Amino acid sequence: MGGGLDPVKAASRTLDLFEAFAEAGGPLSLTEISQRISVPISSCHGLIRTLQMRGYVYVLEERKRIYPTKRLFGIAQAIGRYDTALEQLSPIVTSLAKTTGETVVVGKVQGDIVIYLDVVPGSHTIRYTASAGDTFPTHSSALGKSMLSLLNDQALDAAIGKLKLIEFTDATITDPKAFKKDILAGRERGYFLTRGETVRDVMGISFPCRIGGEPYAIGVAGPTSRLKENFDNYLAAIKDAEAAIGELR
């Protein structure tokens, strides 16, 4: 990207750029890009020029506004076609979202964070909203607890010891012993919960699974009041989904 820019910084700026376009929902001028990603115009110009040469963005003659081409979209589609685990899980999580009406998420733990790999939005007007690629703290996520439960006790202790148990709400579990106890309780009952531990008034129910030997977690998330009211029905739907995934092995 020229100028000896730190590759990590260059990659971060590139991602910020595409996220800025997604947020804006339309073309942006160089000045607007500079303001949105907090990068000097001169640096933005070099970044845009590189992406233009690679076919990722184009410039509109009127007011010199810039917008991404569909090249990135095409690459993302090609990548998605080869994620066999998500392809296998897709009809199951879609069915779970339809049955419960709540948002269903597929994720994986990566150290201190859970990455959402797939999100099927709920059908309720008021619902939990998220997107594939969103990240959330492992320790305050039902998905995070689910995946940690797959570890043996020694590995679980080591994993908990590395986590930063930051308090996000007054419901967040920040004591390592209490956190392990919560995971063990979930392992015993066969599902895992988060009750406003990252975001107030949001509840999640999750379970872990393995596809081709690789661990994943699937969760249903929504307003706490509605999940509590429909808990038994949602849990039954979750158990059906878990059984369907078991048949994939």
Residues 47 and 101 in one domain: no
The domain boundary, picked from 49, 74, 99, lies at 74
Q: H or E segment at 205? A: strand 202-211
User: 52 pLDDT exceeds 50?
Assistant: yes
Query: How many other C-beta atoms can be found within 10 angstroms of the C-beta atom of residue 3?
Result: 8
d(CA 213, CA 18): 34
CA 170 to chain CA mean position, Å: 23
User: 1 pLDDT exceeds 50?
Assistant: no
Helices 84-100 and 231-246 pack at an angle, to 10 degrees, of 150
d(CA 129, CA 104): 10
- Report the pLDDT value the prediction gives residue 64, as an integer from 0 to 100: 85
User: 3 pLDDT exceeds 80?
Assistant: no
pLDDT band at 247 (very low <50, low <70, confident <90, very high): confident
In angstroms, the Cα distances linking 83 to 47, 117, 118, 157, 247 are 30, 10, 11, 31, 19
Mean pLDDT value across residues 146-165: 95
Residues 108 and 18 in one domain: no
Are 238 and 142 spatial neighbours (Cβ–Cβ below 8 Å)? no
Nearest to 248 by CA among 62, 53, 137, 86: 86
Are 50 and 7 spatial neighbours (Cβ–Cβ below 8 Å)? no
d(CA 142, CA 208): 10
Q: What is the CATH classification number for the domain harbouring 229?
A: 3.30.450.40
d(CA 42, CA 33): 11
Asked if the structure places residue 172 within a domain, the reply is yes
Residues 149 and 168 in one domain: yes
The domain boundary, picked from 74, 93, 122, lies at 74
The domain boundary, picked from 36, 55, 74, lies at 74
Query: How many other C-beta atoms can be found within 10 angstroms of the C-beta atom of residue 207?
Result: 23
Asked if the structure places residue 2 within a domain, the reply is no
> 18 is in which domain, residue-wise?
7-74
Mean pLDDT value across residues 198-215: 93
Mean pLDDT value across residues 205-224: 94
